[in-house]
Structure 1
């Protein structure tokens, strides 16, 4: 995704623009997510890319965009905070739904997408195709947020090494 490409998509912004501007969502920028991104950047990337896929597949793009944005609406460092009653993978979607309900009404589909976006690390699969999209895009974005900056950082060393090996 090109930087801030999402801001130029009027349909996408009609679905999530007001949510993005809330203090609760803006606060996500204060939390590092996958080493080279913050939680707000991650959530917008998941939301926008999921929305584009859902739209292309003629699915519920609105619910996909909104749930994608709100899927990680929690305010703690997941690397250091531990829970007695479950893993972060199980707990944080429930916290995200609770926090999202404080700022907007969620449809049944949006709740299911948020709760089950950690499928694979948790056992309950998404009920809707839109949930599978957010789940897979979340994994893709997390991987990209770590691997792309690392590759860019070490690309010169890698090219130099490969040239030496030839």
Structure 2
């Protein structure tokens, strides 16, 4: 099993361009769950996704690059949904996967796995389930991390 340092290095390797992109500065300022920023949440989801793939021994079945990139970009909506904006953020939980995909597509080249995984990461809140294993993993990792963050634990 991979240790935390190795997991983090995998995320940094496959997501270096994403992590260093100027729009990540927005994510570093926007809160996601509790006191966790959207940037921190995205990194935690990427690490949790790799951890899930490792623990379930899915290495022969998962595209690791796509998994990491989908996890890092799943909440790439580039605003703080807690701030009042006249009502646009009212349906954030339902709409943000599509906004995140559109923003990610504008800044990065996305393959079908990454695109679908971003768009479907809120299933069943959004009606279409992930088409790929990577999307299912991101969906699960996002849920686990969101619960931990909301309850005040980042591990």
Q: Shorter chain as normaliser: what TM range?
A: 0.7 to 0.9
What's the secondary structure of 2:48's corresponding residue? helix
Structure 1 runs of 4+ with >3 Å offset: 4-8, 79-84
Gaps of 5+ in 1: 150-166
Residue 6 (structure 1) shift: 6.6
| Greater displacement, 114-123 / 71-80 | 71-80
- Is 1:64 equivalent to 2:67 in the alignment? yes
Structure-2-length-normalised TM-score: 0.82
Residue 49 (structure 1) shift: 1.4
Gaps of 5+ in 2: none
Which of 100, 104, 109 is the aligned partner of 1:100? 104
* Highest RCO, 1 vs 2 (Cα 8 Å, sep ≥ 6): 2
What's the secondary structure of 1:52's corresponding residue? helix
Which of 48, 72, 76 is the aligned partner of 1:73? 76
**1:112-162: CA deviation from partner (whole Å, max 9, x where unpaired):** 00000000212111111111110111011011012135xxxxxxxxxxxxx
**1:32-73: CA deviation from partner (whole Å, max 9, x where unpaired):** 110120000000000121123235312111111001000111
Q: Check whether the contact 2:71–2:118 (CA below 8 A) recurs between aligned residues.
A: yes
